[in-house]
Structure 1
Amino acid sequence: MKLNKIALALVAVAAAPLAANAGVTISPLLLGYHYTDEAHDEQRDILKTGKDLYIDANGNSIDGRGGNVPNGGVAKESSLYTGAALGIELTPSTQFQVEYGVSSANGEASEDSADAGVNRFDVEQTMISGNFLIGTEEFTGYTDNAFKPYVLVGAGQSKIEVENQETYDTAEGSSVGRVEAGTEVSSSKDTIGNLGLGAMYRINDALSLRGEARAIHNFDNNWWEGMALAGLEVVLGGHLSPTVAVPPQVEPEVSVPPVVLVEQDVDSDGDGVPDSIDECPGTPMNVVVDERGCPVAVDITDELKMELRVFFDNDKSAIKDQYKTEIAKVAEKMREYPNSSARVEGHASKTGPSARYNQRLSEARAVAVKSMLTNEFGIAPNRLSTVGYGYDRPIAPNDTEEGRAMNRRVYAIITGDKTMTVEQTKDMVIQ
């Protein structure tokens, strides 16, 4: 219950102000196995169950009274781990996360404590840490592979609390120093470090599966723990895009026929053609000319590929004001590329009364975007096609409000090209 409240708080506090920014990640539930067997000896030295427990019937401490309860300590057994994480991408393959998790188990009492009958304890360990997930693509280069390995490095705090399950007396044959069941009998708050290996598998731009193995070092008490976990990661606003390096331009080789110069010929515009046969004097520098000294014209094709995303309120097909600017940009590009066209796809979340209702709602959303492009921005209707998919193509789970909000959308792809005739320059690459 404590973990669920923390996870919901992380999502509620962070998702609202950051949802419009790319690279905000949420792992609402991380499940794993927390291995602590290697730390048992050190834990018993720290988690002493008889410490400060000698009290009278009024709850006052009794100094100098040792009783006969062994002080052999408790070790936490390996158990299930549940957690949640909130992060932000620093680069397309590296992010920083804040993680909170809990593992609860029975306490393994020392042999001395077990012989005395004080051997039943509940142990809860809570951990909060900040971790860097450094993708291997930082060193090998970015790829389109959905499998994204990473190294985890981080630090934080661990708190272990021990409660006795049964009432026992701190002095043999007396109830003066009695410790009731459910009393916290020991605790430890320590600094920890995390080191691990893991991988993300990107299902799409919003969802990834996550698997990880990590080692946890307790710096204050010098013991090691281990953990293997898995979970689902949600990205708000899409992943950061890698910077694509633009290859350097290569100067084309221009074949110029040899020109025989007579002694009195000069080349006033420096285009390589003497004035005596230059039919286009005054050619600008860096322009490629033919044997007559006139600029060489070439045709260049410029391609357009553009995407549009519009999100809607529940059960609505009205376009919100915040998306009208984006639709205006699409219209401007379509006017610039007269032969361009757009395919407008409408989608719905799985909240309507029926599949047929959601199908009609998705079609209405697509038509609303098409109508705005046609009626407000003058784009010809025959350049726009619409289709509704209902809730058949979700990009996020429909069992959360955040997922349903992402599924109530219109997605459009705008494509086209245009050909321009320009004067060829010496630094222009002709393909």
Structure 2
Amino acid sequence: MKLNKIALALVAVAAAPMAANAGVTISPLLLGYHMTEEFSDTSDKQREVLTTGKNLQNNTDRAGNDNGGVAKESGLYTGAALGIELTPSTQFQVEYGVSDANGEASEDSAKSGANRFDIEQEMISGNFLIGTEEFTGYTDSALKPYVLVGAGQSKIKVENQEQYTNSNGEVVAAGTEVSNSKDTIGNLGLGAMYRINDALSLRGEARAIHNFDNNWWEGMALAGLEVVLGGHLAPTVAVPPMQEPVVDNTPVVLVEADLDSDGDGVPDSIDACPGTPMNVVVDERGCPVPVDITDELKMELRVFFDNDKSAIKNQYKPEIAKVAEKMREYPNSTARVEGHASKTGPSARYNQRLSEARAVAVKSMLTNEFGIAPNRLSTVGYGYNNPIASNDTEEGRAMNRRVYAIITGDKTMTVEQTKDMVVQ
């Protein structure tokens, strides 16, 4: 059935449509009955065309004298097609098929001994399958009729089945190609698809094939299965124009008792707090609802010292002042002041006392210069036990000569509750 040739033909035409995927159709196997002998003039014209002086008769007269030749009998057609949908009901397909049948020898050919032939006809064509819904409108029906119009090429090859001696006395071996024809054809047909689902359809078709080069007709009836990759193209649905909304222009008469000047939901007649800002939650009297919120404080202070010194350098006084300002703003806040030293003193005990002195220096400034109560401040010295950098370099030792303070606290405030406020 020449399926290898069908596969090669499909590969050759598949590359471009497969890139698009959606709307690509494949008919992997088309089976049909190819009719030629049913048309009497077709058989006569085939005998004229499929005549060769070497293997059938000496004289090749295509002007009207029947000097030899064969006519192809009707037989089985096998093919395949690959297509792409142009619209939801119309597609373009490339089809390749083969029809194998016996050859009917003319009387003169039979006299020469050539009376049994194998004839293979290959056809490749491009066809438009135009759905009738293009003209009648799209429907939900599973049956989709179509009209087929296309053109292509037909190749006919004739081989003798048995060895014989032609009229020239030459022995013609079995399987020898004794004639061939390559012609332009046109296709015209009617068919229908029955969609099983969005991916599979059954296909049936009746087709007339016209040989333009030799002016004969052939017929074909075929059926097959069509597969759609990516689903069929969806029909365009007309969207009705948007209607203008109906606006009620009926004037609204407000009773004075129903007026709500500040828009808080409480009529002016019972609003005890007129002029409430927007977004503020009010009670049944129209007054703002108070709510307590807690604001937490957490800040850090770092002060660095010169070697073997506990005096605070002027550059750190503004930072200490900011801490004092926040502690006054948060009356219950406290501070833990930690002193540290680098590992350069004569002894660990000396460095311990130096770290304590540095912590006390910061506490004293907060107390004496900025008025923070001493009981809100605690100090501790760590000597050189908690370095933050290596004591083997001058830069590291400079980082370790420090005071680190953590200030924490909170305060509760009463504010007007707003609609976007989450009350815990």
CA offset at residue 104 of structure 1?
Answer: 0.6
What does residue 146 of structure 1 align with? 142
What does residue 128 of structure 1 align with? 124
Gap runs ≥5 in structure 2: 61-65, 254-258, 262-424
Gap runs ≥5 in structure 1: 56-61, 65-69, 261-277, 281-431
| Correspondence for 2:199 among 201, 206, 209 | 206
Q: Which moved more, 1:162-171 or 1:83-92?
A: 162-171
- Cα distance in 1 for partners of 2:100, 2:59 equals 33
- Cα distance in 1 for partners of 2:76, 2:45 equals 21
Q: Closer, same or farther in 2 for the Cα pair 1:63/1:204, shift >3 Å? A: closer
Counting only pairs closer than 5 Å after superposition, residues 273-352 of structure 1 correspond to structure 2 as none
Q: Is the 8 A contact 1:156 1:191 kept in 2?
A: yes
TM-score normalised to structure 1 length: 0.53
CA offset at residue 25 of structure 1?
Answer: 0.7
Q: Is the 8 A contact 1:129 1:155 kept in 2?
A: yes
1:101 aligns with 2:101: no
- Matched residue type, 1:227: M
- Cα distance in 1 for partners of 2:246, 2:181 equals 75
Q: Closer, same or farther in 2 for the Cα pair 1:218/1:54, shift >3 Å? A: closer
What does residue 75 of structure 2 align with? 79
Q: Is the 8 A contact 1:11 1:26 kept in 2?
A: no
- Secondary structure of 2:166 counterpart: strand
- Cα distance in 1 for partners of 2:59, 2:245 equals 94
- Secondary structure of 1:238 counterpart: coil
CA deviation profile, 1:22-76 (whole Å, cap 9, x unmatched): 101110000000000211011011001x423499xxxxxx999xxxxx8321000
Q: Is the 8 A contact 1:81 1:101 kept in 2?
A: yes
- Cα distance in 1 for partners of 2:59, 2:195 equals 61
Q: Is the 8 A contact 1:192 1:216 kept in 2?
A: yes
- Cα distance in 1 for partners of 2:59, 2:194 equals 60
What does residue 7 of structure 2 align with? 7
CA offset at residue 257 of structure 1?
Answer: 3.0
Q: Is the 8 A contact 2:127 2:151 kept in 1?
A: yes
- Matched residue type, 2:48: D
1:224 aligns with 2:217: yes
- Secondary structure of 1:138 counterpart: helix
Counting only pairs closer than 5 Å after superposition, residues 109-188 of structure 1 correspond to structure 2 as 109-171=105-167, 174=169, 177-188=170-181
- Cα distance in 2 for partners of 1:125, 1:146 equals 34
1:51 aligns with 2:53: yes
CA deviation profile, 1:389-411 (whole Å, cap 9, x unmatched): xxxxxxxxxxxxxxxxxxxxxxx
Q: Closer, same or farther in 2 for the Cα pair 1:198/1:171, shift >3 Å? A: closer
- Cα distance in 2 for partners of 1:137, 1:54 equals 51
Q: Is the 8 A contact 2:129 2:146 kept in 1?
A: yes
- Cα distance in 1 for partners of 2:91, 2:220 equals 20
Counting only pairs closer than 5 Å after superposition, residues 54-73 of structure 1 correspond to structure 2 as 71-73=67-69
- Cα distance in 2 for partners of 1:279, 1:159 equals 92
What does residue 44 of structure 2 align with? 41
Identity of aligned residues (%): 80
What does residue 248 of structure 1 align with? 241
- Matched residue type, 1:22: A
- Cα distance in 2 for partners of 1:171, 1:158 equals 30
- Cα distance in 2 for partners of 1:28, 1:155 equals 20
Number of residue equivalences: 250
- Cα distance in 1 for partners of 2:30, 2:104 equals 26
What does residue 23 of structure 1 align with? 23
- Cα distance in 2 for partners of 1:111, 1:92 equals 53
- Cα distance in 1 for partners of 2:160, 2:8 equals 30
RMSD (Å), alpha carbons:
3.1
